[in-house]
Structure 1
Amino acid sequence: MAGVGSLQEEALKRKERLKALRRKHQGEIEETGDSEPPEKKIAGEAEEGNKEIRQPIFKNYKPENESLQDAVAERAQPEKVEEHIKDQLEAAKPEPVVEEVDLMNLAPRKPDWDLKRDVSKKLEKLERRTQRAIAELIRERLASGKEDLVTVVNVSAAANQQSLDSDED
């Protein structure tokens, strides 16, 4: 039964501590000059700041007293939702993505399409240089004066045509 005695001693110590806290708290209240506890003081301030009485608003209740008839809220009218629903239904309709099928987009590309794309700019530069070189060769032949202009142009055109035919194959 030694445990019961120690529990009683702890209870007495706890009571003494609580009494000391109450005395300390009462001393603070007496020093400030207030006789009311802080909780009552706060509630009193709220009442003083709110001196006018709030009128109730009756939304679902019809009061029998005539003086309260002014506080009845007007009945809310439901909105017409037909227009909103029509807009939403129209927005939900799927639009046809493609009306005509483009066969070029569906056909697979040739395996070397990327090489042609990358090399095409360089080929354009080379084509221009080739045309300049051909023009210089024609001028040199004309300057030498061995052949007349018509035969030189025909020979160079034939050579150019043969080179184009060999590139296509």
Structure 2
Amino acid sequence: MSLAEASEARKARLTALRKRKDGEITEADGTAQPLIKNRNFDPESRTLKKHKVDDTVMEDTVENRVKGMAEQIIADDEQRRAQELDVFNIAPKRPNWDLKRELDKKLAKLEWRTQEAIHTLIRQRLAAQKGESDDIVGAMNAQERQNAAESLSDDEDE
């Protein structure tokens, strides 16, 4: 088969496909007849098919669920825009809440040291009242001696 014959055969196939696509059938004698597609034609009864209208409405579909939702969202948005902006709802109730948040850690340490100092003062006053010393300076010295003695006993234990 030469190139020219192959080209002619291909052209013939392409024209036949084009005619089939357009709906024409070529007979052996060269006449073209329209192709009957059975979309709307019933070959058994030789009549047109009647279209059946399906009026069944599906209850649970996405379209039915979101029906009217866009209008509702737009209406809600317009209503929010129409309301006056209340500055008191935006601002914090206490203007120094962020400062208190940062200082809580530092205040916890100071609170512990304050309590420790109060306990020391109370011990000194109690020691002064028992008669170990008449003044607070003597009570403080007694407290220091007691702390030193405790630290020495701790060192001996180790």
Shared fold per TM-score greater than 0.5? no
Q: Which has the higher contact order (CA 8 A, sep 6+)?
A: 1
Greater percentage in helix: 1
TM-score, scaled to structure 2: 0.39
